[in-house]
Amino acid sequence: MDESINPIKFTFVKSEELKRELLKLCKDFVQDRIENAEAAMQNAQQSANSEERSTAGDKHDTARAMSHLEQEKSAKYLDEAIKLKRAFSELLKAKSTDAIDFGSLVVTNQGTYFIALSLGVVRLNDKNYFVVSPTSPIAIAFKGLKAANTAKFNGRSFIIEEVC
């Protein structure tokens, strides 16, 4: 048999390409989160700075407190975005194996899952894919399984067709 037309090899190549595209989506998502958090921090700081110049008594104190709360919220958002970036860095180091783990692309009879970051459903090339955290219940149900195994989750059976 001519190996260049082996359907299993062809599917694997398509899955590797899909995995690269999903990785790019994850990277873009993380970068957007960081940029949005940094912009929110700058806006909160500018707001606080402009309120410091005001001398309207109680109104000034309330506005300054609100600006401070907004700064704290933005700092927390930025911290979460940085944690997400660290998780993405670990994702890039993840090795592909036959068993499902962090970084695996899992093709099932009920959809395709990328065990990576918690992005939820993403649409790519007119198809939906589930990008889920390795600590999500579905990822935990899949962990360690291989192609041809079956996972039970929420009363449904997921037949693992391919792991990449």
Report pLDDT digits (tens) over 31-54.
999 999 899 888 878 877 776 555
pTM for this entry: 0.77
State whether residue 91 is helix, strand or coil. Answer: helix
Task: State the residue for tokens 């390409």.
Answer: 17
- Is the model's pLDDT at 8 over the cut of 50? no
Report pLDDT digits (tens) over 46-89.
877 776 555 555 565 677 777 778 888 888 988 898 998 999 99
Q: Which position has the higher pLDDT, 121 or 125? A: 121
Q: Looking at residue 69, what is its pLDDT?
A: 85
